[in-house]
Structure 1
Amino acid sequence: MDPAYEGAGQAAGMEIWRVEKFEVVKRDPATHGQFHEGDSYIVLKTTEAPGGGELSWDIHFWLGTETSQDEAGVAAIKTVELDDVLGGVPVQYREVQDHESKKFLSYFKKGIKYLPGGVATGFRHVEEDEYETRLLQVKGKRNVKVRQVGLGKESLNLGDVFILDAGLELYCWNGSQSNMFERLKGMQVAKKIRDEERSGKAKVIIVDGDHCQSDRHFFEKLGAEPGDVPEEGAVPSEVDAAHERKADHEVKLYKVSDASGDLEVTEVAGKPLKKDHLDT
């Protein structure tokens, strides 16, 4: 058994591992919900039956859009290994960035956040008192997602919420046509960054209403002139609904096999999925 799995699944809750140099490394619970686009992860959800009954498990291996084939393969193999550690009882799921299942998203009450880079690209944590200015986009309705976007006015639109992380100043910029879910999520994310990444030292600043086009301090931090923010992505009831429908319908079934001696991942079918698609 991989030492990283020592004690895994013995209590209700969630555990996450990231593939690093062909090994799995357990993640700090403080990072749960943060996924680097260049990496692969294994997420174990342990559930206890009502009244202190038996435990059940769901294992998801998550693949970022920029993850390597090697990392994806290790994630698949290590998922099977974790399944074996738990007696072959868990249900396994494959998750792909931007197309995660509703079940997977439900684990993260504060939503998930996509971060650029990864282990293979030399990602490093910023030191405690060093801050790199970044812009985060908050989008969605039922399944609100947070992703880092380019630092510039061209990344903004009036239909979404954006967080400008300027170190000790966190601007929560609410597009005039963003929805209440995005605004709530934006505030939650900004406060989480303040409390967990800045030790409570940062100030959260709300920019909304007529000020979203004219706030001088916000645009100075962004390195741009105020005004002329595009409306692309506006009409949230339509755009975000389409975003949700796309996430719901782009579900595919894959087969993972090493029967040939090499790990192979092949697409079996898309929606609607049927039991007949499973080869037992």
Structure 2
Amino acid sequence: MERAGVQVVYGFVNMKTHAKLSLVVRRENGVLKSYAHFGTGNYHPATAKVYTDLSFFTCDPALCQDAGYVFNYITGYAKPASFKKLGVAPISLRRRIKKLVTDEIEHAQAGRPAAIWAKMNALVDEEMIDLLCTASQAGVKIELMVRGICCLRPGIPGYSDNIRVKSMVGRFLEHARIYCFGNGHAMPSQHTKVYIGSADWMGRNFDQQIMVANLRDERQSWVLHADGTYHRISNAPDVFAAHDYFMHNPSLSGRGKALQQKLAAQDEQHAPLVKKSRKRKAK
């Protein structure tokens, strides 16, 4: 790559750079325009065939500016004072996640819906485990999908009885990290705060690495019990399997906000025709 003219930066000596992030800045009609891509997986053709990951491509100015701050931090050691939308380890990710969990505790104590859905590869950070158990005791409903090591014991009465832990093992390696917080509303909801990233809830991910931050499955899922044992939910051929679903529905692009905007635009186009039709009937 360097022989081709690419400047390669290896990051910090004492920290692993683990974020999956790219930023493109180009001139369009005489104005600089930025595009950012945030992913949960590596830019690698081999793992792309066997890992399940998410990616988010955006031109949102705040996210693009935050992405620029991350690259400046890695290449110039200029620590950003703050980020508008990103949670970045080791600067702000731990603090951001703790604040989001604490907010759910406050919602539960105020009698509002409170829930956390999180998907990760490992859960071993003691501080986060203690905070999740505190949230459980406050009445927050917590659904976790942890593919690998999970040091939290769910279902212990009076301690973690509002926490459910699943592990999904199937044709593909579950690799995406997703964190969802109800934000005072029952999930799923448009008010939910959703984060994707490359960080598991481990001490090294929060403090020693550069990080940027499918509960419905039954056929490939295993449930963790309070005694540390797992049992498989179901292996029946007619139950829902997330890997099969996403093989047949490979992209959800354009089915959310973009679809709503498209339908709204179509409604506006048809509105004058409807008015004309009503006028003709009136005559």
Q: Give 1 or 2: higher strand fraction.
A: 1
RCO comparison, higher one (Cα < 8 Å, 6+) = 2
Give me the TM-score of the superposition, normalised by structure 2. 0.25
Give me the TM-score of the superposition, normalised by structure 1. 0.26
